[in-house]
Amino acid sequence: QVQLQESGPGLVKPSETLSLTCTVSGYSISSGYYWGWIRQPPGKGLEWIGSIYHSGSTYYNPSLKSRVTISVDTSKNQFSLKLSSVTAADTAVYYCSETVTLFDAFDIWGQGTMVTVSS
Amino acid sequence: QSVLTQPPSVSGAPGQRVTISCTGSSSNIGAGYDVHWYQQLPGTAPKLLIYGNSNRPSGVPDRFSGSKSGTSASLAITGLQAEDEADYYCQSYDSSLSDLEVFGGGTKLTVL
DSSP single-letter state for residue B28: T
Q: Which of A36, A103, A109 sits opposite B46 (nearest CB)?
A: A109
SS (H, E, C) B52-96: CCCECCCCCCCCEEEEEECCEEEEEECCCCHHHCEEEEEEEECCC
Determine how β-strand A11-12 pairs with β-strand A68-73: unpaired
pLDDT of residue B25: 95
SS (H, E, C) chain A: CCEEEEECCCEECCCCCEEEEEEEECCCHHHCCEEEEEEECCCCCCEEEEEEECCCCEEECCCCCCCEEEEEECCCCEEEEEECCCCHHHCEEEEEEEECCCCCCCCEECCCEEEEECC
Tell me if residue B12 falls in helix, strand or coil.
strand
* pLDDT for residue B98: 64
Task: Tell me how close the Cα of A119 comes to any Cα of chain B, in angstroms.
Answer: 25
Q: Is B88 on the interface with A (CB under 8 A)?
A: no
Rg (CA), chain B: 13
Q: What is the pLDDT of residue A44?
A: 96
Measured CA to CA, the distance from residue A35 to residue A111 in angstroms comes to 15
Residue B91, chain A, CB below 8 Å: the answer is yes
Mean pLDDT of A66-92: 97
A32-48 per-position pLDDT tens digit: 899 999 999 999 999 99
pLDDT along chain B (112 residues), means of 10: 94 97 96 97 96 97 97 98 97 85 97 96
Q: Closest to A48 (Cβ–Cβ): which among B34, B47, B99?
A: B99
DSSP annotation of B43 reads T
For residue A73, what are the β-bridge partners?
A78
Share of chain A above pLDDT 70, in %: 100
B30 three-class SS: helix
Q: How far apart are CA A108 and CA A46, in angstroms?
A: 15
For an interface test with B, which of A40, A46, A100 has the most B Cβ atoms less than 10 Å from its Cβ? A46
What is the rounded radius of gyration, in angstroms, for the C-alpha atoms of chain A? 13
The count of CB pairs under 8 A between chains A and B is 62
Q: In the predicted model, what is the mean pLDDT of chain A?
A: 96
For residue B25, which of B89, B98, B75 has the smallest C-alpha distance? B98
Three-class SS state of B31: helix
* Whether residue A87 has pLDDT greater than 80: yes
- Note the Cα B43 to chain centre separation in Å: 18
**Is the Cβ of A109 closer than 8 Å to some Cβ of chain B?**
yes
Read off the pLDDT of residues A46-75 as tens digits, 9 standing for 90 and up.
999 999 998 889 999 999 999 999 999 999
Return the residue of B nearest to A110 by Cα: B45
